[in-house]
Structure 1
Amino acid sequence: MRIPVSWLIQQLELTEEHRDLTAEQIADAFVRVGMEVEEISTLGPVTGPLVVGRVAEIEELTEFKKPIRFVTVELGDPEDVDSDDPDALPASTQVICGATNFVEGDLVVVALPGAVLPGDFKITARETYGRVSKGMICSARELNLGDDHAGIMVLPTGETAPGDDAIDLLGLTDKVIELALTPDRGYCFSVRGLARELACAFDLRMIDPAAIEVPEADSESVPVTIEDSDGCARFVVRRVTGVDPTAPTPWWIHRRLMLAGIRSISLAVDITNYVMLEMGQPMHAFDTTKLKGGLSIRRAKAGEKLVTLDDVTRTLDPDDIVVCDQTGPISLAGVMGGASTEVSAESTDILLEAAIWDPASIARAVRRHKLPSEASKRFERVVDPALPPAALERAARLLREHGEGSIQPGRTDVGNPTAPAALTMAMDLPDRVAGIRYDRGVTVSRLQQIGCLVDFGTGEDGKPSVTVHPPTWRADLTQPADLVEEVLRLQGYDTIPSVLPPAPAGQGLSPKQRRQRAVSRSLAEAGYVEVLPFPFVAKTVWDQLGLAEDDIRRRTLSVSNPLEADRAELASTLLPGMLDVLSRNVSRGAKDVAIFHIGQVVLPRTERVPMPEVGVEGRPSDEDLLQLNGTLPVQPAHVAVVLAGHRQRAGWWGKGEQASWADAVEAAKTVARAAGVELTVHKADLAPWHPGRCAQLRVGGFPVGHAGELHPKVTEAMGLPARTCAMEIDLDALPLTERRPVPRVSPYPPVLLDVALVVDDEVPAEELSDALRAGGGELLEDLSLFDVYTGEQVGEGKRSLAYSLRFRAADRTLKVDEATAARDAAVATAAERFGAALRA
């Protein structure tokens, strides 16, 4: 929120000590009470002659492609010009201008030659468009008064005259403070709320703009019926007739709106916006003559339409709150009025409306119709339910004063908003929370400063307590902890000592943590890069992965308030996020990618367990913790790997090696070795992997994951490189082993033998390796597959698998005969299990 410093200071009863408050001191005070100051903007600076001028004559230069005007501006009475004074203002000047939003007779701001505008922009007389321009007519943005650059700034008539100093008139020595307000501080979206915070910070009295005398309502302005009390807690209207529609907005209102970032429209609309900024109560003005019968407040009906003030026909939702007359909806409550009852340039009979709407309903309507506004911003954050009568009275009096309107007797006030509930708190609770002892009376005085009524009493323990009645504008004070926060905040968080608790001796990492770090380190050493994918997925991703309709991975949990509306599901597998990271890297030019991630997936329970209510007065019991954990979904830790492009890059050493399903399987083995478990590989068929290039990973006969090459349809649907490979293992499904391996170095030489076995194509190489290990016994130290051959020499439906076997004895030098016997035993076992035969 943007607000000029001069307006804030005007709402404080300044003492001699605070008579010369600066913008920087005010900003520091806001920070002390817990508010964030984004920027302090200095208006101007402007030096040199900047004066008010009256447009006397406009010559349209039609020979150019864009609108160009040669404007004569009067700067004063020619008889008052002192020709002997070189610094005297000329009686008039002529300037070139491209804006078209002013007419003859308008008052404008003119920068004469010699003036320097913000940005060190120097004004000089210069020839342009075939004319000599002796100055410049200024817009608000050129004077650093706001962002409006749509046209020239036109001043209201009657409050100034040509030749007046525009620097003083515009208040260019003022400063503007911009604050980033949190949603719980809805009352601070007004000068009233901000001034109250400053009064607390400086221990000053505040001038409350809402503290005005509101006459009793002896009759109704317009009949009003609230059909939906949940959506509308209060609805108040006041009628003003005889308003001069041509009356200009007073300059002081126009200037404050402009500095706050709100564009001036008309007197009636400007006054409602001004009161909104001043008090925090959004308002709406209806043209009374366009209303048909009384008003009613209800939810919209399915299919109803409303043309809003921006001339857009909107289809209403049954959740929308609308204001209706006999013809139907005339306003989208709290968001935008309807065009049918708009206050126009001919409107003289104005019906002012101030209401209290349901914050959640307004927030949903804003997002649904994409119509954010200053009014909805305040309604979403809760508006003081006691404000509407005072705000209407203030707006009606301004219309009477500046628009010559006549306030009609009576006021319609329907609804019954609930007052904040009283809270009881131990007197010393703020002291105990802060860890310091505040001076006597601090708690009560601080609570009274924010508008609370405080009654003294005695608690159940016999100690002093206070019963606090929060003010109507502080709907956020709902528990004693909120009152404690207010006392600590206003006393200053910097006064609370920082004492670090003693750190107990740690017990080191848990076995699961040690295993996860070992897995992460092993994959990084193998050349994989760790990534942190987005943890939420869209429902459409399961179709892209080719999962069956009954696939258990489609069962997910939805997030109530997702960061991205189209990604509201918690992932049941790491693959969608990993493939998204791969796609992003490939789109940025990375051709060879090898990434991994260790993270939790979310698996919903088959039955929904209600969440137990646990208080905050102490630590939950073991039974409460057990019930709480029982309501949570299962969240096992998984590890996933994705590869694309070359696993071994090409270079001077030779051709590169394309990543394949075998690399994904090897990554799984790397994980297993780091976790200290024995992994076996079995043929499988599971989406999103390729049916013929998918392996199931097992530990102790139990499946823990899959690895292989992704199906071509999946890579095409997700825009991934061809032959992309992936692996995912349930890390929590692996048994924990206390494993501290010590390398064994044998002093005896090995015996190296090779063997080539011919088997059916259907025999997995991993299972054949297991058979050789079983037959080779203890002497077989290691084996590795180094060649696979298919062709005429081995026959159709057959393939040759060549292994390198390493035999070694731990206590002696192994003889060749012993190694040969062990090799023959290994081959015999392979022949027994799979019909393997030695290749000739």
Structure 2
Amino acid sequence: MQFPESWLRAWADPEIDSQELAHRLTMAGLEVEDADPYAPPFSGVVVARIESAEPHPNADKLRVCQVNDGSGEPLQIVCGAPNAAAGLLVPLARVGAELPGGMQIGPVKMRGVESRGMLCSARELGLSQDHAGLLELSADLQPGQDLRQALDLDDTIYTLKLTPNRADCLSILGVAREVAALTGCALRAPDTPSVPVTLDERLPVAVQAPDLCGRFAGRVVRGVNARAATPDWIKSRLERAGQRPVSALVDISNYIMLELGRPTHVFDLAKVQGGLTVRWAREGERLELLNDQTVDLTSDVGVIESGRGLESLAGVMGGQASAVTLDTTDVYLEAAFWWPEAVMGLTRRFKLNSEAAHRFERGVDFATIPEQLNVMTALILEVCGGQAGPLDDQVVNLPAREPVRMRLARCARVLGIALDAEAVGAVFTRLGFAYERQGDDFIVTPPAARFDLTIEEDLIEEVARIYGFDRIPDLPPVAPAVMRVAPEVQYGPHALRAALAARDYQEVINFSFVEEAWERDYCGNADPIRLLNPIASQLAVMRSGLIGGLLANIAHNAKHRQTRVRVFELGRVFARDASVADGGLTVAGVAQPTHLAAAAWGPAQAEQWGEPVRPVDFFDVKRDLEALLGARAAGLRCEAAAHPALHPGRSARLLLDGRAIGWLGEVHPRWAQALDLPHAPVVFELDAEAVSERVFPQPREQSRQPVVVRDLAIWVDAGVPWQSLLDTLQQRIAADAALSVVKDIKLFDIWREAATAQQRSLALRLWFQGRDTTLEDHQVEHCVQSLLDALIQAHGARLR
């Protein structure tokens, strides 16, 4: 919010300078983002009247002006401004004056004619960018007046950066209340003028939606002169608050909003047929707004309707159909309380910029509507003339102001300082809160303008703000330093990240909302969770997997000439699940598990002289996954299955201890081609919770006996997977105590006579070691034969 300091001091004028005032407001939670002088420094500039303006004898575009600067002697000044004319009051920079930028004014000759001074435009004084002509001043000023004093240029423009909960400070009155409470200075009570009612005319209003409009007030004013000039003092304050003056009726409405925080609307009464109806819009209705934008309405949007159609978007912006113009003579003034929930989000939905909606969606004072509408009416009658009708005020459904209890002991504990009841009571009194005491408890009824006071901590914050945050001692909290033992079997998110980073992967963080095509192509999800208000049209659905984001990361890097990319992401995904109920961290019907995904693309190893370059493959990424699982990798199984994003013959479903936890595989060639990747990345995605526990290490005594190594080569059908053979061997070892000496089994060779051969040869290496005695040959041969028999019985294998 932007406003001039002079306007604020007209309501509350503490005996402190501008810098201290800005500091006090900032320390009270109303951050002063900028405090800039309204006009740049200049000196020697006064008000002057042009007595005559004659053509220059030697230049067509110059005039020789005789100027009265209040000194008693006319000054001759040569001027080239097109609007220089006799009788005009303009700024005059006398000889010796210094203008913004360090420009010094001295006597000069222009085309042979002496000029003693300079008549100035607004841009030359740094007041605006207007340089079309001289700055025309009000006829009420006197020649010789110092321009800075005459125009009150020694002013400071404050810009407040307000938090959303402080809607009460979106006005001069609201900020002045804060200044009075902070400094103890007097607050000028808002004047409520008595408006003479000379018309007996009312406009009937029917409020059909009490959950949209809680209070509606208005009155008819006839015979106004919409072409009347807005008073200079109103225009000056509006301009310094960042508002562009438009016309008297519009300017007065904006002025009331900025000064009192009361958004209002002025209807052209001649364009309103019958009465007004306040209701929710119907599906398919359309409304043309004041900014010439036409919006399509839905049933959750409030509107004001007359007999001729929709007139206004309730709480947001008026309609073009009933907008006032310079030819308007009869108006209807409206002020209402719109429920914040009914206005919230509409400006974002319709891409509008509305000062009224900015206030209504945060909460506007509903108790002072009639008084402030009277202030607006009095200003219109004073500036535009006319006759006013009686004020209609319908109280429909106002928010209940529930009392809030604050315990003095709780306040002292939260703030860390001992405050007595009198000091706390003085704070509430300065803030204008109505309260009563019950022992050491304060029961505060929040004012109608304060929608942010709902719980005890809100009142404690008010005490801290007014008491002064800088007066609260900076003491560290006293707390017992109790060390918590981290469970060794827990593998939290930081450990997962560290493990993958150690495998040469880099973490990425992608949006949780993605393109709908990603869900269809990469996840096979035809019904994703859609966003009601996406930040971009292509990011319209919530992700149910992480693979799409990682592929986009790889494609981006590939376009920037990166040849090797290894990335991972740990984040939530979102899927429909009817079994999920509402809870503290859950939303009904939506499952939000945390997934861990990684992708590798490019050479398996960084380019070097000692290793040949080869592309990363399925088994490279599987090895990284096994390193992540640690000892639990023994329970990992890869089961051939189809996934929408993965190559049909080079992908697998991941099973850990028999439970499906995710997928591993090479990206489908179709998607690699769509991303312009010369070869396909290899990815895995799994449930992070499933890998968040480790196997606790169990120490055991190492055997001192020598290890015996045997090789075993067998023929099996080409369709029998190695994992099935390994499972058979492990089952036989577990069932036969004599096979406890088998320590490890590895597959080290696969051979086929031809690609179409029905059988393949597998070469296994077996490690044997006894615990207490050295193994003899017959024991080892018995173990080898037992393992071979298990393969023959289960898979029809034969010895090669």
What residue number does 1:593 align with?
A: 565
What residue number does 2:28 align with?
A: 33
What residue number does 1:410 align with?
A: 390
Alignment of 1:546-561 (within 5 A): 546-547=523-524, 549=526
Q: Partners in 2 of 1:715 and 1:162 — Cα distance?
A: 80
What amino acid is the match of 2:579?
Answer: E
Identity of aligned residues (%): 31
What residue number does 2:445 align with?
A: 469
Q: Partners in 2 of 1:739 and 1:714 — Cα distance?
A: 41
Task: Give ranges in structure 2 of 5+ residues lacking alignment.
Answer: 734-738
Q: Partners in 2 of 1:232 and 1:398 — Cα distance?
A: 26
What residue number does 1:278 align with?
A: 259
What residue number does 1:485 align with?
A: 461
Aligned with 2:67 (options 76, 92, 109): 76
SS in 2 for 1:545: helix
Superposed CA offset, 1:460-489 (max 9, x none): xxx455443332212333344433332233
TM-score (norm 1): 0.79
Cα 1:105–1:806 change in 2 (3 A) is farther
What residue number does 1:534 align with?
A: 511
Cα 1:578–1:511 change in 2 (3 A) is farther
User: Once structures 1 and 2 are overlaid, which stretch shifts more, 558-567 or 344-353?
Assistant: 558-567
User: Once structures 1 and 2 are overlaid, which stretch shifts more, 442-451 or 43-52?
Assistant: 43-52
Q: Given that residues 211 and 397 in structure 2 are in contact (C-alpha distance below 8 angstroms), is that contact kept between their aligned partners in structure 1?
A: no
User: Once structures 1 and 2 are overlaid, which stretch shifts more, 365-374 or 477-486?
Assistant: 477-486
Q: Partners in 1 of 2:561 and 2:639 — Cα distance?
A: 35
Q: Partners in 1 of 2:64 and 2:354 — Cα distance?
A: 37
What residue number does 1:7 align with?
A: 7
User: Once structures 1 and 2 are overlaid, which stretch shifts more, 650-659 or 702-711?
Assistant: 650-659
What residue number does 1:225 align with?
A: 206
Q: Given that residues 75 and 163 in structure 1 are in contact (C-alpha distance below 8 angstroms), is that contact kept between their aligned partners in structure 2?
A: no
Superposed CA offset, 1:4-38 (max 9, x none): 11221221154xxx2xx222211111122222221
SS in 1 for 2:381: helix
SS in 1 for 2:358: helix
C-alpha displacement of 1:206: 0.9
Q: Partners in 1 of 2:136 and 2:296 — Cα distance?
A: 40
Matched, 1:94 2:74: no
Cα 1:608–1:292 change in 2 (3 A) is same
Aligned with 1:181 (options 144, 162, 168): 162
C-alpha displacement of 1:450: 2.2
User: Once structures 1 and 2 are overlaid, which stretch shifts more, 805-814 or 382-391?
Assistant: 805-814
Cα 1:360–1:348 change in 2 (3 A) is same
Q: Given that residues 519 and 674 in structure 1 are in contact (C-alpha distance below 8 angstroms), is that contact kept between their aligned partners in structure 2?
A: no
Q: Given that residues 385 and 417 in structure 1 are in contact (C-alpha distance below 8 angstroms), is that contact kept between their aligned partners in structure 2?
A: no
Q: Given that residues 420 and 472 in structure 1 are in contact (C-alpha distance below 8 angstroms), is that contact kept between their aligned partners in structure 2?
A: no
Q: Given that residues 315 and 357 in structure 2 are in contact (C-alpha distance below 8 angstroms), is that contact kept between their aligned partners in structure 1?
A: yes
Aligned with 2:487 (options 503, 507, 510): 510
Cα 1:430–1:699 change in 2 (3 A) is closer
Aligned with 2:314 (options 310, 326, 333): 333
Superposed CA offset, 1:681-707 (max 9, x none): 222223332221112222333333221
SS in 1 for 2:651: strand
Cα 1:268–1:422 change in 2 (3 A) is same
Q: Given that residues 95 and 135 in structure 1 are in contact (C-alpha distance below 8 angstroms), is that contact kept between their aligned partners in structure 2?
A: no
Aligned with 2:607 (options 650, 653, 659): 650
What residue number does 1:66 align with?
A: none
User: Once structures 1 and 2 are overlaid, which stretch shifts more, 237-246 or 590-599?
Assistant: 237-246
Aligned with 2:690 (options 705, 723, 733): 733
TM-score (norm 2): 0.83
Alignment of 1:259-270 (within 5 A): 259-270=240-251
Q: Partners in 1 of 2:54 and 2:344 — Cα distance?
A: 48
What residue number does 2:736 align with?
A: none
What residue number does 2:364 align with?
A: 383
Superposed CA offset, 1:214-258 (max 9, x none): 678995443333232322222323444444444332332222212
Cα 1:808–1:427 change in 2 (3 A) is closer
Q: Partners in 2 of 1:407 and 1:232 — Cα distance?
A: 28
Cα 1:323–1:176 change in 2 (3 A) is same
C-alpha displacement of 1:149: 7.0
Q: Partners in 1 of 2:558 and 2:134 — Cα distance?
A: 52
What amino acid is the match of 1:595?
Answer: V
Matched, 1:401 2:382: yes
Q: Partners in 2 of 1:349 and 1:308 — Cα distance?
A: 20
Q: Given that residues 33 and 159 in structure 2 are in contact (C-alpha distance below 8 angstroms), is that contact kept between their aligned partners in structure 1?
A: yes
What residue number does 2:596 align with?
A: 639
SS in 2 for 1:454: strand
Q: Partners in 2 of 1:646 and 1:607 — Cα distance?
A: 44
User: Once structures 1 and 2 are overlaid, which stretch shifts more, 387-396 or 198-207?
Assistant: 387-396
Q: Given that residues 213 and 396 in structure 2 are in contact (C-alpha distance below 8 angstroms), is that contact kept between their aligned partners in structure 1?
A: no
Q: Partners in 2 of 1:472 and 1:73 — Cα distance?
A: 62
What residue number does 1:673 align with?
A: 630
Matched, 1:444 2:420: no
Alignment of 1:60-209 (within 5 A): 76-77=67-68, 82=73, 90-95=76-81, 138=121, 155=136, 157-160=138-141, 165-209=146-190
What residue number does 1:796 align with?
A: 757
Superposed CA offset, 1:624-668 (max 9, x none): xxxx99989766554322122222233434542212222232232
What residue number does 2:521 align with?
A: 544
How many residues of Structure 1 are paired with residues of Structure 2 in the alignment? 784
Task: Give ranges in structure 1 of 5+ residues lacking alignment.
Answer: 60-68, 84-88, 613-627
Matched, 1:764 2:721: yes
Matched, 1:697 2:654: yes
Q: Partners in 2 of 1:70 and 1:784 — Cα distance?
A: 100
What residue number does 2:579 align with?
A: 607
Q: Partners in 2 of 1:675 and 1:162 — Cα distance?
A: 93
What residue number does 1:625 align with?
A: none
SS in 2 for 1:386: coil
Q: Given that residues 208 and 279 in structure 2 are in contact (C-alpha distance below 8 angstroms), is that contact kept between their aligned partners in structure 1?
A: yes
Q: Given that residues 238 and 353 in structure 1 are in contact (C-alpha distance below 8 angstroms), is that contact kept between their aligned partners in structure 2?
A: yes
Q: Partners in 1 of 2:312 and 2:588 — Cα distance?
A: 44
What amino acid is the match of 2:340?
Answer: P
What amino acid is the match of 2:405?
Answer: M
What residue number does 1:305 align with?
A: 286
Cα 1:343–1:598 change in 2 (3 A) is closer
Alignment of 1:326-365 (within 5 A): 326-365=307-346
User: Once structures 1 and 2 are overlaid, which stretch shifts more, 829-838 or 306-315?
Assistant: 829-838
Matched, 1:575 2:562: no
What residue number does 1:315 align with?
A: 296
Matched, 1:425 2:405: yes
Cα 1:469–1:546 change in 2 (3 A) is closer
C-alpha displacement of 1:680: 2.4
Q: Partners in 1 of 2:548 and 2:183 — Cα distance?
A: 55
What residue number does 1:64 align with?
A: none
CA RMSD in angstroms comes to 4.6
What residue number does 1:500 align with?
A: 477
Q: Partners in 1 of 2:549 and 2:414 — Cα distance?
A: 43
Cα 1:674–1:495 change in 2 (3 A) is farther
Q: Given that residues 201 and 220 in structure 2 are in contact (C-alpha distance below 8 angstroms), is that contact kept between their aligned partners in structure 1?
A: no
C-alpha displacement of 1:723: 1.2
Matched, 1:46 2:18: no
Q: Partners in 1 of 2:19 and 2:763 — Cα distance?
A: 81
Q: Given that residues 676 and 737 in structure 1 are in contact (C-alpha distance below 8 angstroms), is that contact kept between their aligned partners in structure 2?
A: no
